[in-house]
Chain A
Amino acid sequence: GNSVTQMEGPVTLSEEAFLTINCTYTATGYPSLFWYVQYPGEGLQLLLKATKADDKGSNKGFEATYRKETTSFHLEKGSVQVSDSAVYFCALSVRLRSNDYKLSFGAGTTVTVRA
């Protein structure tokens, strides 16, 4: 089946520190990979995505590279800010049948950045 495993939190960092959140997946077929971010009390926002091997998704200083050989999609940011404090979800999307996709989420990693 399809599943996503991501690094357990919580993660606490100081401002300007380097952030890495590990994510690995198992999937049948060729999934698209996503990182979503959830701020307190809100829904999920798409942070970045990659649709095929070696693609790099990037947004707001965050990056993740689709590594088929290691089945990974680790999220990185070189210098975090307090405003990056949120829960981060790794997810994959697999086409079930014609035009039908389903997202599978990791458990989420809570990140807290201190000033």
Chain B
Amino acid sequence: GAVVSQHPSRVICKSGTSVKIECRSLDFQATTMFWYRQFPKQSLMLMATSNEGSKATYEQGVEKDKFLINHASLTLSTLTVTSAHPEDSSFYICSARVAGGQDTQYFGPGTRLTVL
């Protein structure tokens, strides 16, 4: 149980284009999903917290107009990197928290974004 999927697993795009990454909780409902960014050989940096049906809460220093987050249902959150640039290349990981007050987060497999 508690499986989270991400799609795509890898994406390569040209500078200036937008890329959408999907995060799905497959066997549970997730009122809260989180988006992280991980640079090579570094820890995870929380970008934003996404609550179903409401606006995402962004961490300090994360541009909300560049990283658009939509949490339209209890099983799906999307992250759109708008007008991507090479410095946006990174490993993006989502996680989901089971509805009902548990504090454990379950992580997706990650999406490797490369912007040329």
Contacts and interface: CB of A to CB of B under 8 A. Distances in A.
Interface string B12-38: 000000000000000000001010000
A48 B33 CA distance: 20
Contacts of A43: 4, 6, 93, 107-110
Interface residues of B, number: 23
A102 B49 contact: yes
Interface stretch (B62-70, B79-87, B98-106): B98-106
Contacts, number: 53
Interface residues of A, number: 24
B97 A101 contact: yes
Interface string A78-111: 0000000000010001010001111101111010
A46 B43 contact: no
Contact of B43 (A45, A51, A95, A108): A108
Interface of A: 32, 34, 36, 41-46, 49, 51, 89, 93, 95, 99-103, 105-108, 110
Interface of B: 4, 6, 32, 34, 41-44, 46, 49, 93, 95, 97, 101, 103-110, 112
